Every structure is written in C-alpha cells, then in structure tokens.
C-alpha cells in the first residue's frame, strides 16, 4: 500500500472516531440527527427483513381468473344452481401497445369539480 493510501485510511479512521464520539451529544441535543438516525434504523431493519424474506413461505402469485374453471360443477358444491357467465377475456380498449393518435381529448365538464378548491366567497 502506498503512503497516500495509508494516510487516507488514517484520516478516515480519525474522522470516524470523531463522529462516533459526537453521536451521543448529537442524539441528545439535535432533533434532526435523532429522527434521521431513527429513520435510518427503520430503513435498515426493513432492508434486512426484505433480504431475509424467503419466497418459499409465500403462496405463488397467480393472476386472478386464470385458474378458475368456466364450468362450476358438483366438485365446487353448486349442484342445482345455474353456472355463472364466463369471464370476458377481451382486452381493454387502450393498452400499452396501442397508439393514442385517434383519441380525442376534451376538457372535463364544468360540473366536474372533484379535487378543486371552491372559489372564495367575498362577504
């Protein structure tokens, strides 16, 4: 290792010692440091728990409607009732691969004011 590399390691160790020595005082007197440290601890715990999460303990993800048979018979306990209508497999009218060139965009009707602030009433 070169002299510059060793000097950088020594400088880093000294800086780390100073920061470690200042942490209890910062924890006691500085609210921003305290809440930042708490947030970092929670984020670290969530990250570690996510890494430890074993996918074998969870049920496999299934797209809804793919494993439902079209004809529900006696195996499902529906002996006398009429079968439910089949699930439509039609694609939506606008999907990610479809061009929006022919779509006409119009402003919302004036009566549709959801999410807007009502005008101020002067008294």
The tens digit of pLDDT for each residue in 37-56 reads: 999 999 999 998 888 875 54
Position with higher pLDDT, 18 vs 75: 18
Residue 28 has pLDDT above 60, yes or no: yes
CA nearest 86: which of 71, 75, 74, 73? 71
pLDDT at 101 (0 to 100): 72
pLDDT at 56 (0 to 100): 45
Alpha helices per DSSP H over the chain: 3-29, 31-52
- Alpha-carbon distance of 112 to 42, in angstroms, equals 42
For 21-35, what is the mean pLDDT? 91
Kindly state the tokens that stand for 106: 């119009």
């Amino acid at each position: 290792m070169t002299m510059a590399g060793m000097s950088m390691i020594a400088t880093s160790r000294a800086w780390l010692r100073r920061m470690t020595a200042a942490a209890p005082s910062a924890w006691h007197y500085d609210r921003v440091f305290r809440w930042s440290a708490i947030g970092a601890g929670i984020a670290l715990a969530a990250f570690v728990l996510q890494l430890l999460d074993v996918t074998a303990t969870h049920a496999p993800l299934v797209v809804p409607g793919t494993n439902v048979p079209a004809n529900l018979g006696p195996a499902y306990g529906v002996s006398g009732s009429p079968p439910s209508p089949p699930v439509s497999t039609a694609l939506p009218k606008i999907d990610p691969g479809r061009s929006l060139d022919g779509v006409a965009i119009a402003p919302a009707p004036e009566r549709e004011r959801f999410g807007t602030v009502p005008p101020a009433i002067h008294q």
